[in-house]
């Protein structure tokens, strides 16, 4: 019985046969109170003001209005950064998702029985996952110089952490029968892993990689802001010069690209799972 | 027995043409994307720089980390949480009507399609573009960041809401209908219990993501912990960046732990 039930005792119903049934009180009021308190605090801290929002919301559409119609003649200069963005996310997703496989294996409790190794691996993956992509991109630009290599590294790091977590959760839910049988016959852990676990997790792993790639294309457009190559670079430049029609064209190109990639990858994922 | 195994093994599905084609396409794509990698920018002392950065990050500036004024890490983190929280709430509220409009089992196909396109367009625009637009409305600061967060949340949240709505079990509604319930009773006892846990879980998940992505807002001066972090990094003050990052990472890990607990509870009822 939790503290909440002690403060608000459960309602007791007596059925016709004399049996008593306890119905715990709804948790909804508690959740609502917490939500309300957090909302009030947030409104105070952030200075949220509905009045300003309503009276000045027209300003929001000023830039949007200038983006339409997009500057069609700017398109030829977009191709190169656009392809750079796609290449960055493709290579980054690939490197990250391949590199993480041994780490994910070390982080699953059903393969490695040493608790310390598992805990260390999970901590490593969590810390990498919480590291903002923008920060890793910025660090990468200091190491590799401005350009697509820095962006590729940042995307690889992000993919590494994201796929890692999903993969070890996936590995922990597989059927361990084949793995144990192979180990009993004298196969090494790596060999047994490849032959018995890989076929079970491969479809969902590939599907997750494709999903991550989709997201990375979208994300890669931000990385240019810190100098890591791709669309963000020209986006930042055009925003700086207030050429919003060109910005609109860049966004339109990004939209169509993301739409196409999503359609292709969704079709591929349907075949996989 | 072994005969049957051999026969079954002989008849195993062979899709090597398909697999070879996929492998070729993947290799071609990787080679193509490899052409974007330029190593010219890599300086000889890249490893040294990386070492200095890591050394700074692992020796965080404790003065800043435990500074309780509005310049210190705790207050910045509080501001970031508030931006992420209110952004998620506003985004989740905007998403509800949008999701009902774009659910293909409720609205006619063309309307649903337009709704989906709109959601995708909202998702495509990078956060800092929204940030710039909102700064025109509210001026720089946490308010602009909050509005940006809410608009960024709309894309993903409404996509997941749509999936929840399309998975609705309509048989419950039919039986409520047969029992003579009014429309409001049908919504209260037939639809809300099915959707609420899912919606709440999505919103909590998005809160996690928003907290992690809040650094992006700093790029355009829209409040939160991003701006001090980027400034510190751009001016090579790695101890300062380290203390901000340490605070952020600890916060995100704690919030993630709590939100996973709540979501597991929601999923199991």
Q: Within this chain, do residues A210 and A107 fall inside the same structural domain, yes or no?
A: yes
Q: Within this chain, do residues A210 and A153 fall inside the same structural domain, yes or no?
A: yes
Nearest to A87 among B32, B86, B136 (CB): B32
Per DSSP, helices labelled H in chain B are 2-10, 16-34, 46-58, 62-65, 73-102, 109-124, 127-138, 142-166, 170-178, 183-186, 192-213, 226-234, 238-268
Residues in chain A closer than 8 A to B223 (CB atoms): 46
Interface of A with B in 151-180 (CB under 8 A): 152
Show Cβ contacts of residue A203 under 8 Å, excluding neighbours closer than 6 positions. A272, A273
* ipTM greater than 0.85: no
Last residue of a domain, one of A66, A88, A119: A66
- The pair of structure tokens assigned to A133 is 């992509």
Q: What is the mean pLDDT of chain B?
A: 84
Residue corresponding to tokens 């909050």: B146
The domain tally of chain A equals: 2
Q: Distance (Å) from the C-alpha of residue B33 to the closest C-alpha of chain A?
A: 4
Q: Within this chain, do residues A218 and A236 fall inside the same structural domain, yes or no?
A: yes
Q: Within this chain, do residues A167 and A85 fall inside the same structural domain, yes or no?
A: yes
State whether A138 and B230 contact (CB < 8 Å).
yes
Q: Within this chain, do residues A136 and A257 fall inside the same structural domain, yes or no?
A: yes
Mean pLDDT over A187-191 rounds to 86
The pLDDT assigned to B85 comes to 92
* Residue B237: alpha-carbon gap to chain centroid: 29
Q: Within this chain, do residues A170 and A243 fall inside the same structural domain, yes or no?
A: yes
Q: Within this chain, do residues A60 and A26 fall inside the same structural domain, yes or no?
A: yes
List the single best residue of B40, B82, B200 to mutate versus A (max A Cβ within 10 A): B82
Q: Distance (Å) from the C-alpha of residue B176 to the closest C-alpha of chain A?
A: 22
Q: Within this chain, do residues A120 and A174 fall inside the same structural domain, yes or no?
A: yes
A243 CB within 8 Å of a chain B CB? no
Q: Within this chain, do residues A103 and A160 fall inside the same structural domain, yes or no?
A: yes
B266 CB within 8 Å of a chain A CB? no
Q: Within this chain, do residues A96 and A183 fall inside the same structural domain, yes or no?
A: yes
The pLDDT assigned to A260 comes to 92
A255 CB within 8 Å of a chain B CB? yes
Query: A12: domain range?
Result: 3-66
- Whichever domain contains A181, its CATH number is 1.10.3720.10
Q: What is the mean pLDDT of chain A?
A: 86
Tell me the pLDDT tens digit for each residue of A34-71: 889 988 888 888 888 888 888 888 888 888 888 888 88
State whether A130 and B248 contact (CB < 8 Å).
yes
Q: Within this chain, do residues A31 and A117 fall inside the same structural domain, yes or no?
A: no
The pLDDT assigned to B269 comes to 63
Mean pLDDT over B147-167 rounds to 89
The pLDDT assigned to B41 comes to 58
Query: Closest Cα partner for B93 from B170, B149, B169?
Result: B149
B127 CB within 8 Å of a chain A CB? yes
Last residue of a domain, one of A66, A85, A109: A66
Q: Within this chain, do residues A34 and A77 fall inside the same structural domain, yes or no?
A: no
The Cα A85–Cα A148 span in angstroms is 8
Tell me the pLDDT tens digit for each residue of B38-54: 666 566 667 777 787 77
Nearest to A130 among B38, B125, B252 (CB): B252
* Residue A109: alpha-carbon gap to chain centroid: 23
């Amino acid at each position: 019985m939790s503290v909440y039930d002690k403060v608000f005792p459960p309602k007791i119903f007596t059925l016709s046969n004399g049996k008593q049934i306890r119905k715990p009180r709804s948790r909804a009021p508690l959740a609502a109170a917490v939500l309300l308190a957090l909302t009030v605090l947030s409104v105070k801290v952030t200075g949220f003001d509905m009045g300003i929002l309503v009276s000045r919301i027209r300003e929001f559409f000023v830039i949007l209005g200038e983006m339409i119609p997009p500057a069609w003649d700017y398109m030829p200069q977009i191709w190169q950064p656009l392809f750079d963005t796609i290449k960055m996310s493709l290579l980054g997703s690939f490197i990250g998702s391949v590199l993480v496989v041994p780490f994910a294996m070390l982080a699953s409790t059903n393969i490695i029985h040493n608790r310390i190794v598992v805990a260390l691996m999970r901590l490593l993956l969590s810390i990498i996952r919480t590291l903002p992509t923008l920060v890793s991109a910025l660090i990468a630009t200091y190491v590799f110089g401005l350009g697509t290599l820095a962006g590729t590294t940042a995307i690889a790091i992000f993919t590494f952490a994201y796929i890692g977590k999903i993969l070890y959760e996936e590995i922990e839910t597989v059927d361990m029968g084949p793995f144990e049988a192979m180990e009993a016959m004298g196969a090494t852990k790596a060999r047994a892993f490849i032959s018995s676990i890989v076929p079970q997790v491969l479809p969902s792993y590939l599907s997750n990689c494709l999903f991550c790639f989709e997201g990375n294309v979208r994300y890669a457009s931000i990385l240019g802001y810190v100098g890591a190559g791709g669309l963000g670079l020209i986006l930042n430049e055009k925003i700086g010069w207030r050429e919003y029609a060109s910005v609109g064209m860049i966004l339109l190109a990004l939209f169509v690209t993301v739409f196409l990639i999503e359609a292709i990858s969704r079709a591929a994922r349907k075949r996989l799972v | 027995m072994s005969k049957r195994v051999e026969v079954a093994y002989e008849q195993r599905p062979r899709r090597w043409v398909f697999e070879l084609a996929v492998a070729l396409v993947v290799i071609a794509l990787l080679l193509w994307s490899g052409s974007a990698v330029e190593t010219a920018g890599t300086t000889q002392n890249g490893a040294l720089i990386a070492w200095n950065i890591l050394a700074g990050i692992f020796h965080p500036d404790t003065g800043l980390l435990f500074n309780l004024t509005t310049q210190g890490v705790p207050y910045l983190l509080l501001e970031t949480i508030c931006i992420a929280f209110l952004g998620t709430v506003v985004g989740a509220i905007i998403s509800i009507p949008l999701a009902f409009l774009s659910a293909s089992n409720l609205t006619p196909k063309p309307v649903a399609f337009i709704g989906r396109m709109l959601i995708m367009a909202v998702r495509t625009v990078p956060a800092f573009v929204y940030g710039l637009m909102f700064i025109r409305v509210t001026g720089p600061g946490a308010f602009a960041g909050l509005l940006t967060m809410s608009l960024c949340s709309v894309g993903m949240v409404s996509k997941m809401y749509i999936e929840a709505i399309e998975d609705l079990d309509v048989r419950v509604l039919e039986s409520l209908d047969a029992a003579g319930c009014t429309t409001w009773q049908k919504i209260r006892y037939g639809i809300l219990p099915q959707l609420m846990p899912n919606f709440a879980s999505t919103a909590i998940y998005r809160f996690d993501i928003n907290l992690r992505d809040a650094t992006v807002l700093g790029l355009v001066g829209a409040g939160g912990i991003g701006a001090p972090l980027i400034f510190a990094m751009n001016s090579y003050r790695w101890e300062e960046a380290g203390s901000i990052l340490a605070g952020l990472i600890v916060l995100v890990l704690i919030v993630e732990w709590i939100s996973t607990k709540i979501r597991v509870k929601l999923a199991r009822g």
